[in-house]
């Protein structure tokens, strides 16, 4: 059995500095300790763009990304933009809009 690849994470601190890379277990510990909130900008080592922890959590079906084998936001939503799995959308509480606007078909 092969061990899953450990993805390293970066975060954009309130002082406008970028910190990392950190292991998922470190990021999870800081999240559980209350140091990180949903507005914290984070990214994996496999991407350049930051997304909020809240966006990641919504796309990950309500779980923080540090407990899942994610590689990048693009790997979850697709290369052409956000295309959420209907199951993830179904997990949203009633009355809340999807975390991303629907794709524009033109």
CATH of the domain at 66: 3.30.1490.40
Q: Which pLDDT score, from 0 to 100, does residue 44 have?
A: 97
The backbone torsions φ and ψ at residue 51, rounded to the nearest 5 degrees and listed phi first, read: -130, 155
In a domain, 40, yes or no: yes
Say which DSSP state 49 is in. Answer: -
Q: Which pLDDT score, from 0 to 100, does residue 86 have?
A: 42
Query: What size, in residues, is the chain?
Result: 106
State whether residue 42 is helix, strand or coil. strand
In a domain, 101, yes or no: no
In a domain, 95, yes or no: no
- Note down the domain range covering 82: 8-90
| pLDDT tens-digit profile, the chain (106 residues) | 555 568 999 999 989 999 999 999 999 999 999 999 999 999 999 999 999 999 999 999 999 999 999 999 988 887 555 444 444 444 444 444 555 545 555 5
In a domain, 103, yes or no: no
In a domain, 99, yes or no: no
In a domain, 102, yes or no: no
In a domain, 84, yes or no: yes
Give the chain's domain count: 1
Contact of 59 with 88, CB cutoff 8 Å? yes
């Amino acid at each position: 059995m092969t061990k899953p690849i450990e993805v390293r994470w970066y975060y954009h601190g309130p002082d406008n500095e970028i910190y990392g890379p950190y292991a998922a277990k470190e990021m999870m510990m800081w999240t559980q300790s209350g140091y990180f909130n949903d507005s914290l900008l984070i990214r994996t080592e496999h991407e350049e763009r930051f997304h909020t922890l809240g966006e990641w959590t919504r796309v990950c079906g309500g779980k923080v990304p540090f407990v899942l084998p994610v590689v990048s936001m693009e790997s979850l939503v697709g290369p052409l933009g956000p295309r959420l799995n209907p199951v993830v959308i179904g997990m949203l509480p009633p009355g809340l809009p999807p975390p991303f606007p629907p794709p524009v078909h033109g």
